[in-house]
Chains A and B, each alone.
Chain A
Amino acid sequence: MTVSETLRSQVGTFAVARGRWHWPEAVFWGLAVACVFLFPNRYLILTEIAWLALFALSLDLILGYAGIVSLGHAAFFGFGGYAAGLLALHHIVDEPVLALIVAGLAAMALGFVTSFLVMRGSDLTRLMVTLGIALLLRELANRFSNITGGSDGLQGIEMAPILGTWSFDIFGKVGFIYCLCVLFVLFLLARRIVHSPFGLSLRAIRNNPLRASAIGIPVNRRLIAIYTIAAFFAGVAGALSTQTTALASLDGFAFDRSADLMLVLIIGGTGYLYGGLIGAVIFKLLQELFSTLTPQYWQFWIGLVLVVIVLIGRERMHRWALYLPNLVMRRFGAKAPIVLPEGDAT
């Protein structure tokens, strides 16, 4: 009994220590806020980075923390996007923040319903089912063009001012600040989730579902819960994209989007919350670079990056990336090197 008591307190201390705020995090968010003032001409791409980061964060929750490999995460993104678009177009919910929440909840409901399908079978079946659901929704959106506008997408969306006070300007400044605020709030939520006992149990499931169930974790229920939460995040990301671009299109459901998202997360690293955020920044910069080099064929280089990353090995790549920061840290007398959290989906 005493052993288990000390063990439990040790685990608790460890988890609390990991959950504490560290100064690099403050630096990260400080930089993000500084972007508002540093790049006044680049608000559009910054906005894209912000919602992409949120989308990647959502995939990280299921892939990095729960080990569910999904090829169709765009389903929720597109669903949230269309939901937000329809809400604004038909003036059902005019206020953007409220619409954002409603769209997120709609995607969440979809996530909850489809999670039961995803829980069945092996990795391959999961890949297929997630991919199938995204394609199915795309097909539906394409066919019911009287509601969704078909391949033209939803057009003529006009956004009301945020909270009735700030209206979207043409330079995208308000849009970016809005996206950044939403990202930060949802990041806090995700941070709370992954450092909670619930988050710890997810990591146990990812590492070994069989053992996790043997120590009494209700595996399926936990996976359904995180899948639903991730769907909410993705739906909000899609809604943000619709609200800031005033357009919802079939692209939202496209396979490319799910695949690109995987690349975003892989660049940043899975299984820690900043992975998606850092990945989104690097991915967008790469995309900009490639599309200025070869406007029509930038996807080739994206593909090449994926192939190279996998061939080098993701872990080795992240070790290289952390080499320099570690060197600096040691100069300043830090004892423990920065390491990425253990393992990811297999």
Chain B
Amino acid sequence: MTLLTILFDGVAYGMLLFVLACGLAVTLGLMNFVNLAHGAFAMTGGYVCAVLVNRSGLPFFAALPIAFLVSAAVGALLERTLYRHLYARSHLDQVLFTIGLVFMSVTATDYFMGSSQTFIKLPDYLQGQIDIFGLGVGRYRLMIIVICGLLTIALQMILSKTRFGSRLRAAVDDPRAASGLGINVPQVFALTFAFGCGLAGMGGALGAEILGLDPYFPLKFMIYFLIVVTVGGSSSITGPFLASLLLGIGDVAGKYYVPKLGAFVIYTMMIVILIWRPNGLFGRTNAR
């Protein structure tokens, strides 16, 4: 394994984390809502995709958008029925509530899908490696980089060019002033929340191959999502993006060079960064 391969795998991993976590970054920045249950939506997407591909025989690429839609629908439903009652509550309440959701989703998935790892049957053309400039590159990881890269660009375009994007940015900057200007902040938030959940669902489906998919997914990756958000800051999309890449590369390199320490590397990295800059590496303003 060369340095380049590590870098490549790390970038693929990081981009995946970004797609998984960017919804969380926006919800945290917009409503100051600590949502520890974000991984549950990712898991939903992963299992939807697995069921569609493995049992119904749908092509992988057709199942991805469905995973997105189902997760987004579940997110929208929960946002409208449960989450919105908690925006004004203390962080402690939000943490407790979302931990409760995580526990429920973990055991419910265990009940319905079994506790073992689930694999999504991949089409043949996504397996194996191809050579690019003499570098052995996993096809699946290459696809992840392409898809996630396109998604990131699309997100950036939506945020910076569309009317909805500017409304969203205004609402993140100052929700009170934004609603004073006639922006329907709760609506913007509900849409963003559902979209973020959808992205997470798609990330879960894409990541099943690399991250693994089992009922404990929300617990295992909660810390990763939180690292992305806290290190990246929640005021823009570039921060979480860079943080995801850093985390992905750091994790892959750490596991390769010092396998004995395992996940130790990234936890240490996170703590050091948070001590050094409590509001995140790329945070513009202090967290509210």
Instruction: Answer yes or no: A177 CB below 8 A from chain B CBs.
Output: no
A129 contacts which of B97, B101, B103, B271 (Cβ < 8 Å)? B271
8 Å CB interface, A322-346 against B? 344-346
Contact A299 B103 (CB under 8 A): yes
Interface centre among A256, A300, A314, A345 (most CB of B within 10 A): A300
The secondary structure that dominates the A interface is helix
Contact A136 B271 (CB under 8 A): yes
State A304–B278 Cα separation when bound (angstroms). 33
Closest A residue, CB atoms, query B287: A122
Contact B262 A307 (CB under 8 A): no
Instruction: Answer yes or no: B82 CB below 8 A from chain A CBs.
Output: yes
A304 partner residues in chain B, CB cutoff 8 A = 100, 104
State A133–B223 Cα separation when bound (angstroms). 11
Instruction: Answer yes or no: A124 CB below 8 A from chain B CBs.
Output: yes
Contact B107 A299 (CB under 8 A): yes
The secondary structure that dominates the B interface is helix
Closest A residue, CB atoms, query B93: A310
Q: How many interface residues does B have (CB within 8 Å)?
A: 47
A120 contacts which of B34, B260, B278 (Cβ < 8 Å)? B278
Contact-residue size bin, chain A (C-beta under 8 Å from the other chain)? 35 or more
B226 partner residues in chain A, CB cutoff 8 A = 127-128, 131
State A171–B82 Cα separation when bound (angstroms). 46
Segment at the B interface, from A138-146, A196-204, A238-246 = A138-146
B82 partner residues in chain A, CB cutoff 8 A = 307, 311
8 Å CB interface, A137-191 against B? 139-140, 142-143
Instruction: Answer yes or no: A262 CB below 8 A from chain B CBs.
Output: yes
A69 contacts which of B92, B105, B288 (Cβ < 8 Å)? B92
Instruction: Answer yes or no: A71 CB below 8 A from chain B CBs.
Output: yes
Instruction: Answer yes or no: A41 CB below 8 A from chain B CBs.
Output: no
State A30–B275 Cα separation when bound (angstroms). 47
Produce 1/0 per residue, A258-280, CB < 8 A to B.
Answer: 01001100100000000000000
Closest A residue, CB atoms, query B105: A303
Contact B100 A125 (CB under 8 A): no
Instruction: Answer yes or no: B96 CB below 8 A from chain A CBs.
Output: yes
Instruction: Answer yes or no: A135 CB below 8 A from chain B CBs.
Output: yes
A71 partner residues in chain B, CB cutoff 8 A = 95
Contact B100 A303 (CB under 8 A): yes
Instruction: Answer yes or no: A95 CB below 8 A from chain B CBs.
Output: no
Closest B residue, CB atoms, query A259: B99
State A306–B106 Cα separation when bound (angstroms). 14
B268 partner residues in chain A, CB cutoff 8 A = 136
Instruction: Answer yes or no: B91 CB below 8 A from chain A CBs.
Output: yes
A129-B271, A299-B106 known; A136 and B227 CB under 8 Å? Answer: no
Contact A136 B267 (CB under 8 A): yes
Q: Can you pick out 12 interface pairs between chain A and chain B where the beta carbons lie within 8 Å of each other?
A: A71-B95, A123-B91, A125-B287, A127-B226, A128-B274, A132-B223, A255-B222, A259-B99, A300-B111, A303-B107, A304-B104, A307-B97
On B, residues with C-beta under 8 Å from A are 28, 34, 82, 85-86, 89-93, 95-97, 99-108, 110-111, 219, 222-223, 226-227, 230, 260-264, 267-268, 270-271, 274-275, 278-279, 286-288
Across the A-B interface, the 6 shortest Cβ-Cβ residue pairs: A303-B103, A306-B100, A121-B278, A300-B107, A303-B104, A307-B100
- Seed contacts A71-B95, A127-B34, A132-B271; 14 additional CB < 8 Å A-B pairs: A121-B274, A128-B274, A129-B274, A135-B267, A143-B261, A255-B222, A256-B219, A263-B96, A297-B107, A303-B102, A306-B96, A306-B103, A307-B97, A346-B92
